[in-house]
Structure 1
Amino acid sequence: MKEELKYIGQKIVENDLELAKKVVFQKDSILMKQIELSKLPIAERIKYRAILIRYFGEALYGNLDEIREKVICWGREAAQIAIRDNISLSSTLRGIYLYRTVIWDAFTEELNKREFAPITMLDVSKIIDPLLDLVCEIIGEEFEKHNQKLMEVAYTALEELSVPVVPIVKGIVVLPIVGAVDTHRAKLIMDISLHESVRLGVSYLILDVSGVPIIDTMVANQLFQVVKALQLTGVEVIITGIRPEIAQTVVKLGIHFGEIKTRATMMQALNELGITKS
Structure 2
Amino acid sequence: MEREDAQMSLTDKSLYDYIVKNSAKITEKWFTLMNGKDGSIYSKKSSSSVKGLLENQHASTIKTAMSAFLEDQQAFSDNLSNWAKDVAQSRVDLGTPAHEVLQALSITRKTIWDEIELCILMYRIPTETVLKWSSIFHCAFDQLNNQFGSMYHEFTQDRFFAQQKLIQELSIPVIPIINHIGVFPLIGNIDSIRAKLILEQVPERCLLEKISYLLIDLSGIAVIDTIILHELLKLIKVLHFIGIKPILSGIRPEVAETIEQPGISLGEVETYATLKQAFSKWGIERNDYSL
State the TM-score, normalized to the length of structure 2: 0.69
> Residues 171 and 201 of structure 1 are in contact (CA less than 8 Å); yes or no, is this contact kept in structure 2?
yes
SS in 2 for 1:237: strand
Compute the displacement of 1:147 (Å): 2.1
2:164 to 155, 158, 173: 155
1:105 to 103, 106, 115: 115
Structure 1 equivalent of residue 181 of structure 2: 172
Residue 203 (structure 1) aligned with residue 212 (structure 2): yes
Moved more, 124-133 or 144-153: 124-133
Structure 1 equivalent of residue 63 of structure 2: 50
Gaps of 5+ in 2: 1-8, 35-43
Structure 1 equivalent of residue 50 of structure 2: 34
Residues 77 and 10 from structure 1, CA distance in 2 versus in 1: closer, same or farther, beyond 3 angstroms?
Answer: closer
The alignment yields a C-alpha RMSD, in angstroms, of 4.0
| Separation in 2, partners of 1:35, 1:75 | 22
> Residues 75 and 136 of structure 1 are in contact (CA less than 8 Å); yes or no, is this contact kept in structure 2?
no
**How many pairs were matched up?**
261
Compute the displacement of 1:101 (Å): 2.0
Q: Deviations over 1:101-121 (max 9, x none)?
A: 22333234324643756x987
Residues 72 and 261 from structure 1, CA distance in 2 versus in 1: closer, same or farther, beyond 3 angstroms?
Answer: farther
> Residues 172 and 184 of structure 2 are in contact (CA less than 8 Å); yes or no, is this contact kept in structure 1?
yes
Percent identical pairs in the alignment equals: 24
1:121-270 aligned within 5 A:
125=134, 128-252=137-261, 254-270=263-279
Residue 78 (structure 1) aligned with residue 114 (structure 2): no
Compute the displacement of 1:238 (Å): 1.0
Structure 2 equivalent of residue 3 of structure 1: none
> Residues 27 and 58 of structure 2 are in contact (CA less than 8 Å); yes or no, is this contact kept in structure 1?
no
| Separation in 2, partners of 1:205, 1:152 | 29
Code of the residue aligned with 1:103 in structure 2: it is W
| Separation in 2, partners of 1:163, 1:169 | 19
Compute the displacement of 1:150 (Å): 1.4
Structure 1 equivalent of residue 283 of structure 2: 274
Moved more, 198-207 or 157-166: 198-207
Residues 37 and 138 from structure 1, CA distance in 2 versus in 1: closer, same or farther, beyond 3 angstroms?
Answer: closer
> Residues 72 and 135 of structure 1 are in contact (CA less than 8 Å); yes or no, is this contact kept in structure 2?
no
Gaps of 5+ in 1: 1-5
Compute the displacement of 1:52 (Å): 1.9
Compute the displacement of 1:230 (Å): 1.8
Residues 74 and 275 from structure 1, CA distance in 2 versus in 1: closer, same or farther, beyond 3 angstroms?
Answer: same
Code of the residue aligned with 1:175 in structure 2: it is F
SS in 2 for 1:197: helix
Residues 261 and 112 from structure 1, CA distance in 2 versus in 1: closer, same or farther, beyond 3 angstroms?
Answer: same
Residues 54 and 274 from structure 1, CA distance in 2 versus in 1: closer, same or farther, beyond 3 angstroms?
Answer: closer
Compute the displacement of 1:172 (Å): 1.8
> Residues 23 and 99 of structure 1 are in contact (CA less than 8 Å); yes or no, is this contact kept in structure 2?
no
> Residues 203 and 236 of structure 1 are in contact (CA less than 8 Å); yes or no, is this contact kept in structure 2?
yes
State the TM-score, normalized to the length of structure 1: 0.72
Residues 120 and 219 from structure 1, CA distance in 2 versus in 1: closer, same or farther, beyond 3 angstroms?
Answer: same
> Residues 226 and 258 of structure 2 are in contact (CA less than 8 Å); yes or no, is this contact kept in structure 1?
no
Q: Deviations over 1:45-90 (max 9, x none)?
A: 85773342131x46xxx9xxx97x9867644421322225966564
Q: Deviations over 1:4-44 (max 9, x none)?
A: xx967565245353254543245355497436358x9x6x9
